[in-house]
Amino acid sequence: DADVTQTPRNRITKTGKRIMLECSQTKGHDRMYWYRQDPGLGLRLIYYSFDVKDINKGEISDGYSVSRQAQAKFSLSLESAIPNQTALYFCANQAGPVDEQYFGPGTRLTVT
Amino acid sequence: QQPVQSPQAVILREGEDAVINCSSSKALYSVHWYRQKHGEAPVFLMILLKGGEQKGHDKISASFNEKKQQSSLYLTASQLSYSGTYFCGTEMAGANSKLTFGKGITLSVRP
């Protein structure tokens, strides 16, 4: 969806490096999410935020941290990247609890 | 608890029908369906809520069996554009809107 942007779209980094993935949305939604997608495993929730002061761990938060800089911006950081964090990362946003989630175009991250 | 999606893969000819399923061992509050084409982001199809409410595209048909904690997506008169991977995301009662997604079903529609 053009209302959700993710940067970078592709990134290759080395083991041990710190990397930040950024997500920005223009829909004005309070709820934002970070997922990772691995082949055959579906989408797994890393972190989520229901407003600027609210940050919650998902099912696979180890090795990741997030920052909600504003209603529109939600960043994901890998403090010390490792090869098994190689994946496709999506951010999403949502207006309310029973509304659709709008996904960004994804960031393909490779850790060598 | 990750929901189980079945079958794992479906191959259809244009115009044929298919049913894909999503099951959970936990009591659910809602089921969401998304379709993802290769290299693209997942796109919303349908939300089914406990109690019978549905939100989604008019051309998509789905059901939610609250007794069995199972949802089915009905794809009728399939078109080439239906090809992709279908994910269900389930929200358990009291889960504060978090969705747990299944592994996905790959559906291919051939001419």
Query: Mean pLDDT, 10 residues at a time, over chain B (111 residues)?
Result: 94 96 93 95 94 82 94 94 96 80 96 94
Strands A19-25 and A4-7: antiparallel
d(CA B51, CA B65): 10
* Distance, CA of A2 to chain centre: 16
Indicate the residue of B44, B49, B103 with minimum beta-carbon distance to A42: B103
- Cα angle at A104 between A98 and A105, to 5 degrees? 145
d(CA A67, CA B89): 25
Pick the residue of A32, A43, A89, A107 with the most B CBs within 10 A to test the interface with B by mutation.
A43
For chains A and B, what is the number of CB pairs under 8 angstroms?
Answer: 54
Instruction: Give the model's pLDDT for residue A72.
Output: 96
pLDDT at residue A1 greater than cutoff 60: no
**Whether A100 and B89 lie within 8 Å, measured CB to CB:** no
